[in-house]
A and B are shown apart, each in its own frame.
Chain A
Amino acid sequence: MNFEFSEDQKMIKETARSYLADKCTSADVRRILDGDESFHPELWAGVAEMGWLGTAIPEEYDGLGLGYLELCVIAEELGRAVAPIPFSSTVYLFAEAILAAGTEEQKKKYLPKVAAGELIGCLAMSEGAGAVTPKTINASVSGGTISGTKVPVVDGDVADHAIVVAKTGSGNDEGSMSLFVVDLKGEGVTVESVKTVDPTRGHATITLNNAPAEALGDTGEGWAIVDRIFDRAAVLFSFEQMGGSQAALDMAKDYAMDRYAFGRPIASFQAIKHKLADMYVATELARSNCYYGAWALSTDAPELPVAAATARVSASESYAHTSKENIQTHGGMGFTWEFDCHLHYRRSKVLGLTIGSLPRWKDRLIDRLEARNVA
Chain B
Amino acid sequence: MDFNDTPEEAAFREECRSWLDANRLVGWEDRIGRDADGIAVSREWQKKKYDAGWACLHWPKEYGGRGASPIERVIWSQEEGAIGGLSSLFIIGQGMCAPTVMAHGSEEAKTTRVPRIASGEDIWCQLFSEPAGGSDLAGLRTRAVKDGDEWVINGQKIWTSGAQHSDYGMIITRTDPSVPKHKGLTMFYLRMDTPGVEVKPIKQINGNSEFNEVYFTDVRIPDSQRLGDVGNGWNVSLTTLMNERLAVGGGFPTNFEDMFEFAKNVEDHNGPAINNGSVREKLADWYIASAGLRNTGYRLTSALSRGETPGPEASISKLVLGENRQNMASFMLDLQDMYGVLNDPNLSAAEAEYQATFFRAAAHRIEGGTDEILRNIIGERVLGLPPDQRVDKNVPFTDIPTGDK
Q: Which residues of A approach B to under 8 Å, CB–CB?
A: 1-6, 69, 253, 256-257, 264-265, 267-268, 270, 273-274, 276-278, 280-281, 284-286, 288-289, 291-292, 294-295, 298-299, 310, 313-314, 317, 359, 362-363, 365-366, 369-370, 373
Contact = CB atoms under 8 A, between A and B. Distances in A.
B299 A268 contact: no
Interface in B286-316: 287-289, 291-293, 295-296, 298-299, 301-303, 305-306, 313, 316
Contacts of B316: 280-281, 284-285
A291 B299 contact: yes
Interface in B377-405: 378-380, 382-383, 385-389
Interface of B: 1-5, 9, 260-261, 264, 274, 277, 280-281, 283-285, 287-289, 291-293, 295-296, 298-299, 301-303, 305-306, 313, 316, 319-320, 372, 374-376, 378-380, 382-383, 385-389
A266 B293 CA distance: 30
A264 B287 contact: no
A253 B384 CA distance: 9
8 contacts: A3-B301, A4-B303, A273-B376, A274-B372, A274-B376, A280-B378, A285-B320, A286-B292
A285 B293 contact: yes
A313 B288 contact: yes
Nearest to B379: A273
Contacts of A299: 1-2
Nearest to A69: B1
Nearest to B277: A363
A68 to B, nearest CB: 10
B289 A273 contact: no
Contact of A285 (B264, B289, B375): B289
B375 A366 contact: no
Given A256-B385, A285-B289, A365-B287, A2 B376 contact: no
Given A289-B288, A292-B295, 4 more contacts: A2-B305, A264-B386, A288-B296, A310-B291
A310 B382 CA distance: 25
Contacts of A276: 379, 383, 385
Given A268-B387, A281-B316, A366-B280, A289 B292 contact: yes
B288 A1 contact: no
B385 A317 contact: no
Nearest to B388: A268
B287 A268 contact: no
A313 B288 CA distance: 7
A285 B295 CA distance: 8
Contacts of A292: 291, 295, 298
Nearest to A263: B389
Given A2-B1, A2-B2, A277 B302 contact: no
A337 to B, nearest CB: 28
Given A3-B1, A268-B388, A291-B1, A359 B281 contact: yes
A361 B329 CA distance: 24
B284 A1 contact: no
Contact of B292 (A274, A285, A362, A366): A285
B375 A273 contact: yes
A301 to B, nearest CB: 10
A318 to B, nearest CB: 9
A289 B295 contact: yes
